[in-house]
Amino acid sequence: MGTVIIDRRGTKLEYQSGALLIREPDARPKSIPLARVERLVINGSVSLDSNLLTQLASLGGSVLLLPGRGVQRGSHLHGAGHGDALRRLGQYRLSLNEPRRLHWARRLVAMRLAGAERLLRTALTIRPERRLALVQGSKHLARLRSRARRAERLASLRGLEGGATAAFYRAYGELFAATLAFNGRNRRPPRDPVNAALSLGYTLVHADALRAIAQAGLDPMLGVLHDCSHNRDSLACDLTEVARPRVERLVWRLFAERQLRAESFSQEGGGMRMNKAARATFYAAYETQATVHRRWLRRLCAALVDDCINLQRGASDI
């Protein structure tokens, strides 16, 4: 099962005899063994039994509460993660060790830009009529990725990553119909259908990153590329970068195959909102391909843990 998505107003979620009991309005109750639920995604006004949250947390499950109109951030609840505090002590040392932070930041940026570059090269084989924009974008990304590998300061690395992202979106925009009015990234609220789909995908990936971090016993607030900032999960933001190209490829495919259309969205509260049927399509497609990036996130967290533990042991030996 893995992921359970609740997207119907008025649904009641309860715990009963080791199972998640789902009571939707005017429908027969559904029961799912709670041990099979790794993550619970909730969109809309839903009632939850507090005992359900307690039991889910004890099993290491997580909950993502999606904002109704895309204006606010999603909220996340996580069960007990890894209990080894030495990992976090090492992580605090790493966060103050500029060479190690730069090593990790360069690694994450390189992965993000390589994924974006692959997407544009794939698009070129399918949309050769957009060759000029896609080739220019791909070459620009390759140049900036090469420079990012050699960046000697975090500030310059962030500048290169920002420039590469802007270049990517310019080329990426050529893949969508003009009627979708996609002219680059915007959010909170997203102002066009493509950005609404991207925002939903990025939110789901961010939740996957938070879950991987919690299970690894790391502090999500201490990033390597993103600096500490009040109320920001900087490490989750870092790891989300690696999976962004997967979301961007998914969004392009869904619009190209017309599984998502302009009619799937409506203007609401100053932003664009995906309708319920389109969300069901998106969730299903996302879950189909999410196994890959979830594996990447677990492996990156494991490698980061190894580095943190080595730093902590080295300090303890002094």
Domain map of the chain by residue range?
Answer: 2-59, 85-316
Residue 140 has pLDDT above 50, yes or no: yes
Instruction: State the Cα–Cα distance between residues 127 and 179, nearest whole angstrom.
Output: 18
Average pLDDT estimate for 138-151: 93
Which pLDDT band holds residue 14 (cuts at 50, 70, 90)? confident
Torsion angles phi and psi, residue 156, rounded to 5 = -70, -35
**Does residue 53 sit in helix, strand or coil?**
helix
Instruction: State the Cα–Cα distance between residues 166 and 179, nearest whole angstrom.
Output: 21
Dump pLDDT digits (tens) for 179-195: 999 988 988 889 999 99
CATH code at 85-316: 1.20.120.920
Dump pLDDT digits (tens) for 242-282: 999 999 999 999 999 999 999 999 988 778 999 999 999 99
Give the pLDDT of residue 318.
Answer: 45
**Does residue 37 sit in helix, strand or coil?**
strand
| Cα torsion angle, 220, 42, 48, 54, sign | negative
Hey, which residues does 66 pair with through a beta bridge? 43
Assess whether the region 2-59 and the region 85-316 belong to the same CATH fold. no
CATH code at 2-59: 3.100.10.20
**What residue type is 38 in one-letter code?**
E
Torsion angles phi and psi, residue 299, rounded to 5 = -65, -40
Q: For residues 62 and 214, is the Cβ–Cβ distance under 8 A? A: yes
What are the tokens at 47? 């009632």
